[in-house]
């Protein structure tokens, strides 16, 4: 629709219909700006938001007004500014502006010159005033101060009938040296690497102790395993010796050990008979099976 609004020559209105393209209608590439095409491609492809905007055959009232290009800002000429010198030097050399970038010695010289000029003007005014005045007046005279005079810790003597004016400067404020804070921090910074070295040494010692203790623990565990295996072997050997000697306790223990890995165990007839005889002697049970 935006393309149709741009291409259509008919004016917009309530009773007018917009131009509709046919199957054979095409748009020439001359109607697009070079900015509407994508960059870095061999074939020319339009951007998705490209709209035809160049129509040389259209009348002037249907074409868009040309936009004026933005011109660079031109600065006004400044006295003392030259293309060879940078802007900062030209700003220093300007006579109408006080330069804050000068050295303090230059400022002091300027102030002394100004004060000397002020004193000379004051003496001239004294001479001009003393000649016509013959009678002293009771009221003091007020004279305008010179524009170029600066206040310094000096006194200027005004005419006889006037008052003496004394210019004083404020005393310099006592300030702490700027390097004090850095000196304190430097003393701390020199101690930091020593502390780091001490901590690294302690860590290394503790790591060595940990490694040594871990080795001892592993050896002790191996020795404990060997001792438990040897104990089991000795117990089994002792039990077998007692079984061979026909010991009742050994036979009973041997049957118990055989039942450990089974869900249901069956006692041997000899062990059951012997157990019954053992309890019968103590509790006076009757004999169930005769020895035959």
Instruction: Say yes or no to pLDDT of 172 above 90.
Output: no
pLDDT at 45: 85
* Residues in CB range of 44: below 8 A, 6 or more apart: 29, 37, 38
From the number of C-beta atoms within 10 Å of its C-beta (0-12, 13-18, 19+), residue 210 rates as exposed
User: Tokens in use for 133?
Assistant: 């005045």
The alpha-helical segments, DSSP class H, found in the chain are 2-7, 87-93, 104-130, 179-244, 248-259, 269-283
Q: Tell whether 155 is covered by a domain.
A: no
Q: Is 88 within a domain?
A: no
**What is residue 9's predicted lDDT score, i.e. its pLDDT?**
60
Instruction: Clarify whether residues 259 and 201 are in a common domain.
Output: no
Q: How many residues appear in the chain? A: 292
User: Using CA atoms, how far apart are residues 12 and 210, in angstroms rounded to an integer?
Assistant: 92
Question: Domains in the chain: how many in total?
Answer: 4
207-223 confidence digits (pLDDT tens): 999 999 999 999 999 99
What is residue 199's predicted lDDT score, i.e. its pLDDT? 93
Residue 262 lies in a domain: yes
- 27 assigned to some structural domain: yes
Domain that holds residue 2: 1-64
Same structural domain, 13 and 58? yes
238 and 212 fall within a common domain: yes
Condensed to tens digits (0 to 9), the pLDDT of residues 232-262 reads 777 767 777 777 777 766 766 777 676 766 7
Q: How far apart are CA 88 and CA 100, in angstroms?
A: 11
C-alpha distances (whole Å) from 266 to each of 164, 178, 269 are 137, 99, 9
In a domain, 232, yes or no: yes
Q: Are residues 228 and 282 in the same domain?
A: no
Band of pLDDT at residue 131, cut at 50, 70 and 90:
very low
Place 174 in a pLDDT band, splitting at 50, 70 and 90: low
* Coil, helix or strand at residue 37: strand
Please name the residues in contact with 251: beta carbons below 8 A apart, sequence gap of 6 or more: 243, 268, 270, 271, 274
The answer on 254 and 214 residing in a single domain is no
Asked whether residue 7 falls in the same domain as residue 28, the answer is yes
Phi, psi (degrees; rounded to nearest 5) at 166: -120, 125
Phi, psi of 50 (to 5 degrees): -75, 140
Number of other residues whose CB lies within 10 A of the CB of residue 264: 5
| Domain match, 8 and 22 both | yes
CA angle (116 as vertex; 114, 121 as ends), nearest 5: 95
167, part of any domain: no
**What is each CA distance from 198 to 57, 190, 203, in whole angstroms?**
89, 14, 9
In a domain, 233, yes or no: yes
Same domain, 263 and 213: no
Mean pLDDT, the chain, rounded, equals 67
Say what the pTM is: 0.25
Average pLDDT on 84-101 reads 52
Give the count of beta carbons closer than 10 Å to the beta carbon of residue 117.
13
Residues 240 and 259 in one domain: no
Cα 11–chain centre separation: 60
Helix 248-259 / helix 269-283 crossing angle, nearest 10 deg = 130
Residue 157 lies in a domain: no
How much is the average pLDDT of 122-131? 49
């Amino acid at each position: 629709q935006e393309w149709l609004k741009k291409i259509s020559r008919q004016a917009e209105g309530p009773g007018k219909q917009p131009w509709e393209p046919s199957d054979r209608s095409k748009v020439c590439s001359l109607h697009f700006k070079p900015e509407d095409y994508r960059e870095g491609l061999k074939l020319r492809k339009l951007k998705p938001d490209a709209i035809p905007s160049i129509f040389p055959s259209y009348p002037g009232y249907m074409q868009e007004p040309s936009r004026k290009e933005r011109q660079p800002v031109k600065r006004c000429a400044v006295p003392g500014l030259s293309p060879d010198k940078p802007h900062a030097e030209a700003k220093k050399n300007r006579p109408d502006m006080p330069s804050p970038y000068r050295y303090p010695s230059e400022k002091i010289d300027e102030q002394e010159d100004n004060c000397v000029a002020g004193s000379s003007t004051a003496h001239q005014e004294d001479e001009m005033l003393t000649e016509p005045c013959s009678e002293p007046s009771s009221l003091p005279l007020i004279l305008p101060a010179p524009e170029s005079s600066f206040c310094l810790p000096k006194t200027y003597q005004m005419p006889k009938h006037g008052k003496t004016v004394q210019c004083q400067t404020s005393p310099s404020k006592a300030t702490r040296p700027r390097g004090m804070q850095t000196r304190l921090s430097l003393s701390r910074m020199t101690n930091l690497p020593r502390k780091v070295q001490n901590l690294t040494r302690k860590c290394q010692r503790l790591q060595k102790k940990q490694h040594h203790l871990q080795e001892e623990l592993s050896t002790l565990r191996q020795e404990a395993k060997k001792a438990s295996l040897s104990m089991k072997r000795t117990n089994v050997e002792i039990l077998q010796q007692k079984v061979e000697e026909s010991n009742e306790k050994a036979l009973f223990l041997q049957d118990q050990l055989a039942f450990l890995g089974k869900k249901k165990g069956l006692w041997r007839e000899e062990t059951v008979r012997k157990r019954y005889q053992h309890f019968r002697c103590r509790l006076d049970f009757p004999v169930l099976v005769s020895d035959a």
